[in-house]
Amino acid sequence: MIPSGLELIDGYRRRELSPVEVVRSVLERIDRLNPELNAFVTLTPDLALEAAREAERAYADGRAGPLAGVPVSIKDLTPTKGVRTTWGSLLHERDVPDADAPFVARVREAGGVIIGKTATPEMGWKGETTSLVHGTTHNPWRHGRTAGGSSGGAAAAVAAGLGQLAQGGDGAGSIRIPAAFCGIAGLKTTRGLVPRFPPSGSALSVVGPMARTVADCALLLDATAGTRTLAGVDEPVDGLRAAWSGDLGYAAVEPEVREAAERAARLLAEGAGLAIADDHPQLDDPWPFIDVIWAANQASDHAENFRQVRELLDPGRAEVVARGLTIPATAYVAAQDARAGYELAWDGFMAGYDLVLTPTVPVTAFLAGTDNPPSVAGRPVAYLSWTAFTYPFNATGQPAATVPCGLVDGMPVGLQIVGRRGEDALVLRAARAFERLSPWTYNEMECG
């Protein structure tokens, strides 16, 4: 039985657990399971044990921070002072930053024990985790299936018990896709709630928490965003208004996935006292303008050197960069204007609802090492267009959580819970309400 972060903290305070012993146990589990999963790119055992010893002293002295002694992993797109950060790219394979990103600095300040850097595709470009630096990350539920992406290493690590908390990043679903595929909880935070480094001009990407439990997500959010979410995560959500949509009016989704998510939504409504209606905004698929923003954003990394470095890039990403370099500034501005209009339209819709419930991802985990599923419900897809429930809320900046809600053919399915901007705490309360109604188990997972 893998203890949660909150359970570890309780054990530390009672002097029933030792941070040093816990961290050693996690490192031993990583040694045993990571060769098969390939969730970590870089491990920091010496630094982790040093932080664990400091946490042990802090508990003895009565000065322990909110994450003291809790193992945390950091996505390899996020700079860590003195620790290799590859960005999943051969161009950065040996980079060692001289400063922490804000998220990392806050984890350290809170006493969290950083155990290593988790795998990501090059520059987080896709919803699957394979890179030329580290190879392919596998799903703990079934070897040979993807862990999702781009925070696939983080999700696989948490699901397999290789640390309690993980930092993810989400520009089109990169927290929610792998969390759903691996059967864990994750939160795409409200745009701007947690400082992100490097800053993104795309207005799409955020960083946020991933964990086995919703309460642990709240714990990590509070430590990195300065919020007080955990204190109210068990408060009731009865009387709130929720909209359920199985397709947002345009999305292809596998029928079994839709059915599992709808059962979960109805269970949440009935069990937690939500008023639920079948509804969604009358809006077209936002992918066309999101695609322009994403492609231009990827291309901006190589505006000066693409010809020289193309052969070192992930072939799929190189195609996106090549296309992005042809996008004129006027088209990029038009796409950002469309994004702003889309955000306003969702604001209008959310005036009538507190929450929106959808499937998180329209399929279960596809083959590891492939950039995307070959099709969804018989409809061909490419790049990120297949993840049609996640990218809308990167465009709007709204908080969106995923919580595991069932299995289809033995692989996890997620329920997505979306709220108004700034209402991350409410989203996590609703996710926690579902978690209490439908407790999740990892007993069927292949990885021990």
**What's the pLDDT tens digit per position in 240-298?**
999 999 999 999 999 999 999 999 999 999 999 999 999 999 999 999 999 999 999 99
Q: What is the pLDDT of residue 201?
A: 56
pLDDT grade for 35, boundaries at 50, 70 and 90: very high
The per-residue pLDDT for range 116-168, each reduced to its tens digit, is 999 999 999 999 999 999 999 999 999 999 999 999 999 999 999 999 999 99
Residue found under tokens 């695609």: 291
Q: What is the pLDDT of residue 200?
A: 59
* pLDDT of residue 199 exceeding 80: no
Helix, strand, or coil here: 357?
A: strand
* pLDDT of residue 438 exceeding 90: yes
Of all residues in the chain, the percent with pLDDT exceeding 70 is 99
* pLDDT of residue 27 exceeding 60: yes
* Catalytic residue list: 75, 150, 174
Average pLDDT for 173-199:
93
Q: What CATH number is given for 241-437 in this structure?
A: 3.90.1300.10
Q: Are 344 and 120 in contact (CB under 8 A)?
A: no
Domain residue limits, the chain: 5-232, 241-437
Fold exhibited by the domain 5-232: Amidase signature (AS) enzymes (3.90.1300)
Nearest residue to 209 (alpha-carbon basis) of 197, 222, 221, 198 = 221
Q: Are 448 and 33 in contact (CB under 8 A)?
A: yes
Average pLDDT for 8-24:
98
* pLDDT of residue 445 exceeding 90: yes
Comparing 5-232 with 241-437, is the CATH topology the same? yes
The per-residue pLDDT for range 340-379, each reduced to its tens digit, is 999 999 999 999 999 999 999 999 999 999 999 999 999 9
Beta strand pairing status for 113-118 and 40-43? antiparallel
Q: What is the pLDDT of residue 429?
A: 98
* pLDDT of residue 198 exceeding 80: no
Question: Which residue spans within 44-179 are E strands per DSSP?
Answer: 71-75, 113-118, 130-131, 135-136, 138-139, 142-146, 165-170
* pLDDT of residue 202 exceeding 90: no
Q: 283: number of CA atoms within 13 Å, CB side?
A: 24
